[in-house]
Amino acid sequence: MASETTPVDGALCRALSAADLSARALIREVNWHLTAVGHEALHPTAAYSWLKGSTPASPAVRYAVAVVLTRVTGIAHRPTDLWPETTDPVPLLRATDDLVGPRGLRRLLDIAAAWTALSGAHQGAVQPSTGPLLITSALDATAGPPAERLRHPAADRIEHVLPAMAGHLESTLADLRRLDDQTGGGAVSHRWVRNALAGVLDLLRNAQYSDDVGRRLLRTAGGLAQLAGWMCHDSNLTGPAQRYHLLALRLAKASDSAEAVANNLGMLAYQMVPANPAEAVRLATAATDAARSCATAVRARALGRLATAHAAAGDLHAYQTAADACRTMLHRARPEDTPADLYYYTPRQQAAEHGHALVLLAATYPPHARRLLIQATDMLTPLAMTDTDETYRRSALLHGIHLARAHLLAHDRPTATATIDSLAQRVPGVQSVRCRSMLADLRGTAHRHLPTATREAVDKALSTA
């Protein structure tokens, strides 16, 4: 750890040394987390006083520090471990708490409602689960027959959910998905989705409705939980993302939606790729199994996740097999059979994802790196460098970062510089902590190879809200 101040021999100092983070690096990571949960960022020197013995007054800040140190070290930290004189306002959860083993539908709805009632800061403090425990929880959610029929509250309740209301909620979910594609998983958007999910759960638990409307409400609740999980992933909130997806899996099973089961398993697999590719392969394989009876586009989507997982695991042959099957499936897919929530999975999106996978493989197979990187840039460029389609701004920014990395790995500094200049112009319109932190890491890694003007443009873009 860089010697930036004279620390006391406290728990925070020892944890920071174990994480190999300087005080300023800690604050940088903490600020990414605070931004994701809608909290004001800290001054870059805030940690200096902590190392001398002071305590952050805000519980949200203490949670953020614990989450960051847990993620960096792999060792669970609680705020009370770092500042023993404090107390936790609410008990800290792990993503899989109460979501391992069988759960009745009424109990599941109660767990989901309690989860959505937590603030963004408290949700952001949830600890991610280890690979085996996460996989067990995910597979438990998909095992056995669909959940039992939901028993309605007392028959004298006067709140009846009519089909038109169910349709309105479905339309709201569709609009929120498209908003996420444009602007990313910012704190405001996530709060809106969390509140929408809480409202649907309230109807499921307390109102009257027909069996058909009840099933539609369950599917909408599952879709909102899935979207909230993806938004948390886009904000680098791994624990909350896992918990939302595990809830979405069980709601999908309860509504007998194999498509949603497969999609949530695939999303969990994709999110595990950086930390544990082998576990990602297991989840992605489960997603392809769940999708076997689904529409062709759903099967293609699952195979695409499997291809990325194999690439991250360094299995070139398995990647190629899954990628070829994915392309074939999507080519065969008919628009009229494609589920509404896969509207975004176009050949251009598919190609960009395979381009990202090839970048991962290039780092694993140096003898083949040049060929793989040429293919990767060809696949990534159409989506990453588009300047006419604002519908998928977040995806364009994300895959633009992968494209810039491909150019840097290929030692094509002029093209990498031009790509990063383009990315800097896109950043202000996308509230994605994941993309912003990836771009910041890329800027830090490549700073010696970038012109001063490019570095300053990235810094300015990242400083905007």
Residue with the two structure tokens 């030692």 = 411
**pLDDT-derived band at 282, boundaries 50, 70, 90:** very high
One domain, residues 203 and 164: yes
Is the model's pLDDT at 277 over the cut of 90? Answer: yes
One domain, residues 184 and 35: no
Structure tokens at 82: 């770092």
Q: Which 3 state secondary structure label does DSSP give 100?
A: coil
Structure tokens at 169: 């909620």
One domain, residues 196 and 71: no
Residue 69 lies in a domain: yes
One domain, residues 214 and 246: yes
One domain, residues 68 and 175: no
One domain, residues 39 and 135: no
What's the mean pLDDT in 222-237? 96
Rounded distance between C-alpha atoms, residue 168 and residue 318, angstroms: 43
Residue 15 lies in a domain: yes
Rounded distance between C-alpha atoms, residue 395 and residue 181, angstroms: 7
Q: Which amino acid is at 289?
A: D
Angle between helix axes 23-36 and 59-73 (nearest 10 degrees) is 110
Domain extent, residue 101, equals 93-256
Rounded distance between C-alpha atoms, residue 112 and residue 331, angstroms: 38
Structure tokens at 367: 């003898």
One domain, residues 65 and 196: no
Residue 50 lies in a domain: yes
| Count of domains observed in the chain | 2
Residue 161 lies in a domain: yes
pLDDT tens for 377-390 read: 999 999 999 876 67
- DSSP letter at 127 equals B
**pLDDT-derived band at 340, boundaries 50, 70, 90:** confident
Residue 275 lies in a domain: no
Is the model's pLDDT at 6 over the cut of 50? Answer: no
Is the model's pLDDT at 42 over the cut of 50? Answer: yes
One domain, residues 218 and 170: yes
Q: Which of 256, 281, 310 is the last residue of a domain?
A: 256
* 269, 312 Cβ separation under 8 angstroms: no
Q: Which 3 state secondary structure label does DSSP give 94?
A: strand
Q: Which of 256, 279, 307 is the last residue of a domain?
A: 256
DSSP assignment of 265-322 equals HHHHHHHHTTT-HHHHHHHHHHHHHHTTTS-HHHHHHHHHHHHHHHHHTT-HHHHHHH
What's the mean pLDDT in 199-208? 94
One domain, residues 76 and 225: no
Torsion of CA 218, 224, 227, 232, to 10 degrees: -120
Residue 52 lies in a domain: yes
One domain, residues 98 and 75: no
Is the model's pLDDT at 158 over the cut of 90? Answer: no
One domain, residues 69 and 108: no
pLDDT tens for 47-104 read: 999 988 899 988 889 989 988 898 888 788 888 888 988 887 666 788 999 999 888 8
pLDDT value at position 215?
94
One domain, residues 98 and 78: no
Residue 341 lies in a domain: no
* 126, 93 Cβ separation under 8 angstroms: yes
